[in-house]
Amino acid sequence: MLLGRTIESIESIALEIGAKNYLISGNGAAVYDIQNKKIIYSKFLSKEQVLKIAEVCEENSIHYNVYTDREIIAKNLSYNILYYHNENLKKPENKRTYINIVPDMLTYLKNLDNSNFLKVTICDEDINIFNGIIKKVKGLDKFDVLDVEYMSKKKIRRGTEDFFVEYYYTEITNENVNKWTALEFLMNKLNITPQEVVAIGDNFNDREMIEESGLGIVMGNSNPFMKIMGDLIVTDNNSDGVCEAIEKFVLN
């Protein structure tokens, strides 16, 4: 199982569906051995790297979140964090993504020790502000910044009504961190070839694995850029697109 979330958040989902071997967290920043409960591969951001990014965001009043292997640190419930929060409301407490709301994030991060930093995410609904901050972050050394051309759109259900949260979004990781490089580590460990890999994704952080795997499947609600890259397109995530892909191309 491979997701951009924290290890703790993914592990609860993995165990629920009977996946008991390995999981990949933080878009490829860490591979976790579920049975032995240990990280067996990692390319974490250092605390110094995270502080550099945080300082740029604070100086420019831009929204950012910091993901560790155990929690998401955020100033408030907005953008992608609002989506995670809404998901949490539907889950029992032991299966929720832990969101740590910290009004003074820079001070909190400076005092935070012994944490494994997976990634930093940056969000804004104004494309000009967003592009300006991305340019500044790319000017820093030794980071990978996810290139984004399209606005993210999340559907959130409140009661009987749906509403949409739209924003530009990027992820900043250590150098050469993506889902495919982490998959390559596991493939080498398990003696699996790229042709034997089926990858299912919907966003820019899935690009490398969709392109490199033997079969790249794209969700129906993906942006047009991703649909061009995929070998096949299934229905959207609200209509069990992942289930459709697994039943058609894995179980059969």
- Whether residues 151 and 237 fall in one domain: no
- Res 1 pLDDT > 70: no
113 shares a domain with 220 = no
Give how many domains the chain has, as a whole number. Answer: 2
Per the structure, the complete domain to which residue 215 belongs is given by 193-252
The answer to whether residues 224 and 111 belong to one domain is no
Q: Is residue 217 part of a domain?
A: yes
Q: Do residues 252 and 161 share a domain? A: no
Q: What is the pTM of this model?
A: 0.84
**131-181 confidence digits (pLDDT tens):** 898 888 888 878 899 877 666 777 777 667 777 778 888 899 999 999 999
| 91 and 204 inside one domain | no
Q: What is the pLDDT of residues 46-90, one digit of tens each?
A: 999 999 999 999 999 999 999 998 899 999 998 888 888 888 888
Distance of alpha carbon 212 from alpha carbon 173, whole angstroms: 20
Domain assignment of residue 188, yes or no:
no
Does residue 111 belong to any structural domain of this protein? Answer: yes
Dihedral sign, CA of 84, 90, 95, 100?
positive
Residue 33 lies in a domain: no
Indicate whether 115 belongs to any domain: yes
In the listed set 173, 207, 234, which residue is the last one of a domain according to the structure? 173
Structural contact between residues 219 and 200, judged by C-beta atoms closer than 8 angstroms? yes
82 found inside a domain: yes
